Structure 1
């Protein structure tokens, strides 16, 4: 049975600050805006087919069962699209990107997979959520040391997302992306061969903490 073509694709950051309790009781305005944009993107994606296929960077493997819930991953959230119910410590043995995906898709059917450079992700549904971020080497407060390539790299990522240019991601140097602590380019490259989307929009692009956060929506 062939994999279904993508109908909707949403991109959200793999940022730890998206997790409940990550910023304490007082949520900074920029974090609140980012969380609102993520919620909007996932809500839009959920209007399409379910289950959602979540794609993050890493070694190729699958998590079972097919239906994940945030609570199973140790995150206390209620509501269909991630309204925090109580603070909870995320389980450290799951990638942050997966924890973010679980938190914002709570109540939805989800199948998960990881991608590695040079491999194509096997899709199981036509609604795809890519969880990954731009460079984490943009400023003094960033996890990595400052790299002058980081901002131009993220600017190009934003351009590709805005243009719906999947081929551009497939053509990127993923070694450079890894050096810049970018965990978005590899999953996007692994989704190559889908053709150009009918519409593409970049909803968010900022780097308030020295890390490039991008949110986008594509529809075929």
Structure 2
């Protein structure tokens, strides 16, 4: 059901509008997706960038009333980020700034004061690179420790924010696929990523709900909480999924999928 802040009523207040998740795109969130950050290594992620562009095209075609971007965040970046919020890649050695959604539509002084976490900054870059989405855009940063029940509740609340909601869900799989990976080699990483890719590629909401939180944390899978927000938002939506990309460059599992 809709939240009290965002009741699903018509302009005349005569009837309740249908509330649903109409589409979702799942993308990885390494800053290396931004060519200026990757520099000489940029071609290694060309296929991932192309898949992300295709997934965002699915969102645009769904004609949402609201696009919510969900991604992992450290403490300072958790919570809602209004449209117009800014981010940058200066922490990664590149003087490049981005804005979430369209300029001039931000609401409130917090837009200027609160910087996007890296995952949402990558999402903002992807949206700009793909030509944007013709709908209001908001961000939601979620922390790795967030309990699955709270992730699901957050997803349900997001799905009730408008009559037609779309999600752009940012998150990486395990960071333990090779000895040079950020988390070193862990033999559990590949089967974990394979199950995540299967669940995301088939829109298996039940499987996403059942992801092992402890294992995901041990494998440094930053996408676990955002994926479970997606699971909560997609309850009852009967969406179908398509896996557009799956690989583990740099020893980190990256998946791109589209749900419609």
Instruction: Report the TM-score, using the length of structure 2 for normalisation.
Output: 0.70
The Cα shift of 1:74 comes to 3.2
SS, match of residue 192 in structure 1: helix
| Residue among 52, 65, 71 paired with 1:56 | 71
> What is the aligned partner in structure 2 of residue 5 from structure 1?
20
C-alpha separation in 2, matches of 1:128 and 1:180: 25
Q: CA RMSD in A?
A: 2.4
> What is the aligned partner in structure 2 of residue 98 from structure 1?
120
> What is the aligned partner in structure 1 of residue 13 from structure 2?
none
**Residue 149 of structure 1 pairs with residue 185 of structure 2:** no
C-alpha separation in 2, matches of 1:52 and 1:45: 8
> What is the aligned partner in structure 2 of residue 84 from structure 1?
none
C-alpha separation in 2, matches of 1:24 and 1:173: 35
| Residue among 226, 247, 253 paired with 1:206 | 247
> What is the aligned partner in structure 1 of residue 51 from structure 2?
37
What are structure 1's unaligned runs of at least 5 residues?
76-86
| Residue among 183, 205, 216 paired with 1:177 | 216
- 1:184–1:158 CA distance, 2 compared to 1 (3 A): same
**Residue 135 of structure 1 pairs with residue 149 of structure 2:** no
C-alpha separation in 2, matches of 1:163 and 1:27: 29
SS, match of residue 138 in structure 1: coil
Any residues of structure 2 matched to 1:68-147 within 5 Å, and which? 68=85, 72-74=86-88, 88-89=95-96, 94-106=116-128, 107-108=132-133, 109-115=136-142, 116-117=146-147, 118-119=149-150, 120-121=153-154, 122-123=157-158, 124-125=161-162, 126-147=165-186
- Contact conserved, 1:50 with 1:110, CA < 8 A, in 2? no
What are structure 2's unaligned runs of at least 5 residues?
4-18, 99-114
SS, match of residue 129 in structure 1: strand
- Contact conserved, 2:21 with 2:237, CA < 8 A, in 1? no
The Cα shift of 1:166 comes to 1.1
Indicate the larger mover: 1-10 or 173-182. 1-10
| Residue among 160, 164, 167 paired with 2:203 | 164
Instruction: Report the TM-score, using the length of structure 1 for normalisation.
Output: 0.82
The Cα shift of 1:154 comes to 0.2
C-alpha separation in 2, matches of 1:191 and 1:27: 29
Which stretches of structure 1, 4 residues or more, deviate above 4 A after TM superposition?
none
- Answer with 1 or 2: which has the greater Rg: 2
